[in-house]
Structure 1
Amino acid sequence: MGMSDTTDRALGALTGLAVGDALGMPTQSLPRELIVRRYGDIVGGFHAAPPDHPLAAGLKAGSITDDTEQALLLARLLIENNGRIDPAELGRRLLSWENDMRARGSLDLLGPSTRSAISNLLAGQDPTETGRNGTTNGAAMRITPVGITVDVSDLGRLVQRVVAASSFSHNTGVALAGAAAVAAAVSAGIDGATVAEAVELAVAAARMARHRGYWVAGGDVAARIEWAIEFVRDSDPAQLIQRIDQVVGTSLASQESVPAAFAVFAVHADNPWLACRIAASVGGDTDTIAAMVGAMSGAVYGSTAFPGAAVHLVTTVNHLLLTPMATALLALR
């Protein structure tokens, strides 16, 4: 007996996250011009990281980065604790993950928001305070498993779970809004939503989450998602990439990279493989943007929307067992 559509979409979200992340691995933190010189206008497939890469040097083609690794770490914690997250335990696990990465010679370690939060947490600071400066997209990049475990029909509960999983490191309105948007789009996709419906729920979740956590200056994520989608609506891939690179922005800031991911998702989600390749080509934080695009489009269109050979490569290179994980996360829904 084959898997149900819902299971396939949950698997699609995890698969897309890993595929997008691996496509963006060699292009992450590079300017658009350099990506074009090395890989052409749109990245065609998986590449090993060049030896001079600032973060990924030595990683072979199809390797995932911190985006997928941290999402799977969060997934395991959710499965073990029946959908609940203990911030201190999440902090400890992320720290031991980083130590393990360092031992493997990786330079792709904890992001700035998460690292400072964990050191504050371990120094005894209250977990509601440790994430008050966390504005980057680290919460959004690892939130997909929460989207799989919580039904989008109860948006308040979804946002609550996003905050519980994120606030120790990213307790600001912009970061929580970015994470809530991605989680809501994934959750909506798993329920069978169209791309337009998923976007609408994502914007509503971002609106709700922006009042959580500490206020920091920065564009409103919900408003910027709506604006970015409108701004790129009739773009061909070349215009889409240019507009995202130059105007929407591709930095670690939640209010740039999350709207950038939604801009690609809104235009190209019906072809998740192309969507991830475009996201891997925009410059800046490409692995995270492509991981978010892959998770959202995979949730809408299912795991079979990605080429079998691409999925096989990523799961083999990284020893991923995504089907049992998708099934276990769904059981919590």
Structure 2
Amino acid sequence: MRNLDKMLGTLYGQAIGSAMAMPTTGWARERIIKEFPLPITDFMDGPKTNPLAQDYHRGQYTVSFQQALVVIQALHASHWEYDQETVSQHLLDWARRIKAYEKDTLDDTSKVALRLFAGDKDITRITQVAVDNGAVVRIPSIGALYTPEEKMPLVEMVYQISKITHETDVTIAGSALIAGAVCAAVADYDWDEIIEFALVTSELGESLGAPTYSARIKQRVRLGRHIAEQFKRRPAGFVRAMYELVGTGAAVSESVPTALVIAYYTRDVRKCAQMCANIGGDTATIGALATAICGAKNGWQSIPKDWCGLIDRQNPPQDLKGVGQQMLTFQPLSSSQNS
């Protein structure tokens, strides 16, 4: 059942994961260890030596989470009736407003696809070959809107939101994986059930996308869960094995399974955000996705209030509590579409 604590847990979880991992995003694990001999355990300014983070201050979340908020607000404004042109236009207006093109803060696929959309040209030549994680960052809050009984409408909504810029089997599978994990977490499934439900929604999503030869999401998740069991109570070994075997790059087939498995391993917003900040690779995306799942499972009340207060102060244009209230007004389509 939807409730405000779970909505806010998802939102603040994603914001915290993004903001804490922001300073290290795009860096190899070896570079992080060199720059930060002591592991990162708190928020900090983006280092001037990191071009992807240098313009951010302590506690600020990245444009990835901003995209998620834009999508939710676009859907709310249209009374939760999805319209691709409306959502795309909101994303395009937002990208222009924050000067995303000039500052080079969007993933390459989204930049090109939104430029083509603005010119009313065919964008499938871009969206149907995309394999990066530029769309999945919009998705955690979508998962929080639905119950597990509504998995088919959930996957359809995920597909519609993703395909604006990413329309391949692997990207839809990755987005549906995260949506399913958040959905099951909000429903308070246990952690093994969260994984299994996410794999179901991921397979449903995969069937909707254009075929690629990417590694399969479900196999990477299963490998990651095996690593989690192998390195139980040995977090350093777990992090190293995930980094080397599953991967932490911007490809959906790496960052998305890793995010889900880190959430499964840590099961706590604080531990999850800290682990993601130190793992290396696309840390901001991995952190946002993984910590959103932990927040969805444990709720807003479980998150340190000083962390939530910092997020609110450092990102004043957005009212996360207000967005959470908007999410409570969501009404799914006819139950006859559920499966």
TM-score by length of 1: 0.93
Name the amino acid aligned to 2:251: A
Name the amino acid aligned to 2:34: R
Alpha-carbon displacement from aligned partner over 1:37-67 (angstroms, at most 9, x marks no partner): 2234532110101112111213211111012
Q: Which 10-residue stretch deviates more, 55-64 or 90-99?
A: 90-99
Name the amino acid aligned to 1:90: V
Percent pairwise identity: 27
Name the amino acid aligned to 2:51: P
**What is the CA–CA distance in structure 1 between the aligned matches of 2:212 and 2:33, rounded to whole Å?**
35
**What is the CA–CA distance in structure 2 between the aligned matches of 1:237 and 1:42, rounded to whole Å?**
13
Match of 2:24 in 1: 27
Aligned residues: CA RMSD: 1.9
Match of 2:248 in 1: 250
Match of 1:45 in 2: 42
User: Shift of residue 201 of structure 1?
Assistant: 0.8
| Contact 1:203/1:226 (8 A) holds in 2 | no
1:72 to 69, 73, 95: 69
Aligned residues: 328
Indicate how the Cα distance of structure 1 residues 147 and 108 shifts in structure 2: closer, same or farther if over 3 A, else same: farther
**What is the CA–CA distance in structure 1 between the aligned matches of 2:192 and 2:325, rounded to whole Å?**
26
Equivalent positions of 1:1-333 (< 5 A) are: 6-40=3-37, 42-102=39-99, 107=103, 109-126=105-122, 131-235=127-231, 236-269=234-267, 271-319=268-316, 320-333=318-331
Name the amino acid aligned to 1:322: L
**What is the CA–CA distance in structure 2 between the aligned matches of 1:276 and 1:18, rounded to whole Å?**
10
TM-score by length of 2: 0.91
Indicate how the Cα distance of structure 1 residues 128 and 148 shifts in structure 2: closer, same or farther if over 3 A, else same: farther
Name the amino acid aligned to 2:330: L
Name the amino acid aligned to 2:262: V
| Contact 1:78/1:329 (8 A) holds in 2 | no
**What is the CA–CA distance in structure 2 between the aligned matches of 1:41 and 1:140, rounded to whole Å?**
31
Structure 1 regions of 5+ residues with no counterpart?
A: none
**What is the CA–CA distance in structure 2 between the aligned matches of 1:108 and 1:14, rounded to whole Å?**
25
User: Shift of residue 106 of structure 1?
Assistant: 7.9
3-state SS of 2:278 partner: coil
Name the amino acid aligned to 1:219: A
Name the amino acid aligned to 1:264: I
**What is the CA–CA distance in structure 2 between the aligned matches of 1:109 and 1:153, rounded to whole Å?**
37
| Contact 1:41/1:238 (8 A) holds in 2 | no
Structure 2 regions of 5+ residues with no counterpart?
A: 332-339
3-state SS of 1:214 partner: coil
Indicate how the Cα distance of structure 1 residues 148 and 82 shifts in structure 2: closer, same or farther if over 3 A, else same: farther
| Contact 2:140/2:178 (8 A) holds in 1 | yes
| Contact 1:118/1:130 (8 A) holds in 2 | no
User: Shift of residue 293 of structure 1?
Assistant: 0.7
**What is the CA–CA distance in structure 2 between the aligned matches of 1:108 and 1:48, rounded to whole Å?**
19
